Amino acid sequence: MTAETELLFVGDLAHSGTSGSQRLWAFKACGVSCAEVDTSTIRPKFGRLTGPMAKVLKSPTLLFSSPEIQKQILETCSRFSPKTLWLEWARYCTPEYLETIRRKFPSLRIVSFQDDNPFGRRKGDVWMWKDYLRSIPHFDNHFVKRPNDLVELARRGAGDTHLWMHGVYSPIFYPPTSPAKRFSVSFIGTCMDGRAKLIEALLLAGVDLHVFGTHWERRSDLLALFPKNFHDAVRGPDYGDVIRNSSICLGLVSHSNQDEWTMRSFEVPGCGTMLLGEDTPTHRELYVEGEEAVFFRSHEECARLAKTYSSDPVRSEQIAMAGRRKIEESGWFIENRVRAILPILGRLQ
């Protein structure tokens, strides 16, 4: 057995750009000793057939390779004796499994981190959450994204609940060293939630927009119509480079998740790029409209604003730099977000 570790972090650590990797980095930056289980390395039992089979059977256990993840968690707990078990998107847990952990490690604090929305509008995904929903009363702490999540968790017997807001991960999201920009307007994201209609409206309006992401070829015909405007998905440092090399970057929230902010709400200003985001109450709380970011309320307004600001690089640069200053002056960096919750976790430092 190795020396006692403060925190065992369980999450998707596939590359440095995943939100899980960023949070793990932040814990370490705060001086917390960490062990880890990378859920992305656990391969589905039936390969590509796993997803369709799990959907037919409505089995989160099959979909998330729950037995394999659970085994790794127990083995790593035995090896490192962590004080806190931090579980991201813990759909691989059941009440029975969490009780097993408690029996084996009675002093262990078990934490659920969840910035997806089990209570949202994606009705076809409800089955994926059934084990997690049963497990809610068995966590010591919950960190979630939306105020409504707190209400839903309380209804299901949760104890200690807190809101989490992301911050800038400075190893990837930092201002450019050169003023030259490659893209006038960019968007990085998946084709979902009716986004294809917005992107089509912008392209038809003549906006010089470049899209990076997945499923655009499967869920729209836009690639056939505008092949030069679509690119492969970017991750990690390449993700930050696209934002940095854009004069303007769209910040779209997930409507099916009922989001009011997204990681791009911080990443875009963090890179010294102008955020052209959807008008939401949270965006308005974060940034002064027209000074630190720009917001739109319709497809037509988005197209108009994109064309206006892309034709005025001096003004868009001023807003971009004001957004970056807001990040710096407010301390909206991910290590500061993690440092703020350490007392809740029993003062890990």
Q: What DSSP element (H or E) covers 183?
A: strand 183-188
pLDDT of residue 8: 98
pLDDT band at 346 (very low <50, low <70, confident <90, very high): confident
Percent of the chain predicted with pLDDT > 70? 98
336/57: higher pLDDT = 336
Reported as a pLDDT band with limits 50, 70 and 90, residue 213 is very high
Mean pLDDT of 166-174: 97
Q: For residue 35, what are the contacts with CB-CB under 8 A and spacing of at least 6?
A: 5, 7, 8, 9, 76, 79, 80, 82
Task: Please state the rounded mean pLDDT for residues 170-189.
Answer: 94
- Two structure tokens written together for 57: 């059977």
d(C-alpha 50, C-alpha 61), whole Å:
11
Q: What angle do CA 121, 45, 70 make, to 5 degrees?
A: 75
**What number of other Cβ atoms are within 10 A of residue 137's Cβ?**
12
Taking the CA of residue 243 as centre, how many other CA atoms within 13 Å lie in the half-sphere pointing to its CB? 30
Q: What is the pTM of this model?
A: 0.94
Segment 250-259 shows an average pLDDT of 94
115: pLDDT strictly greater than 50: yes
pLDDT at 3 exceeding the cut of 60:
no
Q: What is the pLDDT of residues 6-21, one digit of tens each?
A: 999 999 999 999 999 9
Cβ contact 78:71 at 8 Å: no
> What is the predicted pLDDT for the residue at 49?
86
Q: How are beta strands 209-212 and 183-188 bridged, if at all?
A: parallel
Residue 198 burial by Cβ neighbours in a 10 Å radius (0-12, 13-18, 19+): buried
Q: Work out the angle between the directed axes of helices 195-204 and 299-310 (0-180°, nearest 10).
A: 50
Question: How far apart, in Å, are the Cα atoms of 179 and each of 53, 210, 259, 274?
Answer: 50, 19, 32, 13
Query: What is the per-residue pLDDT for 180?
Result: 84
| Mean pLDDT of all residues belonging to the chain | 95
Domains of the chain are: 7-167+333-341 (3.40.50.2000), 183-330 (3.40.50.2000)
What is the per-residue pLDDT for 283?
98
Mean pLDDT, rounded, for 251-280: 96
Q: Is the pLDDT of residue 4 over 80?
A: no
Q: Give the H or E element holding residue 337.
A: helix 334-341
pLDDT (tens digit per residue) in 55-100: 898 999 998 999 999 999 999 999 999 999 999 999 999 999 999 9
For the record, the structure tokens of 20 come out as 């899980």
Coil, strand or helix at 329: helix
pLDDT at residue 197 in the model: 97
Q: Is the pLDDT of residue 349 over 90?
A: no
Q: At residue 229, does pLDDT exceed 90?
A: yes
| Res. 1 pLDDT band, cuts 50 70 90 | very low
pLDDT of residue 317: 97
How many other C-beta atoms can be found within 10 angstroms of the C-beta atom of residue 96?
Answer: 11
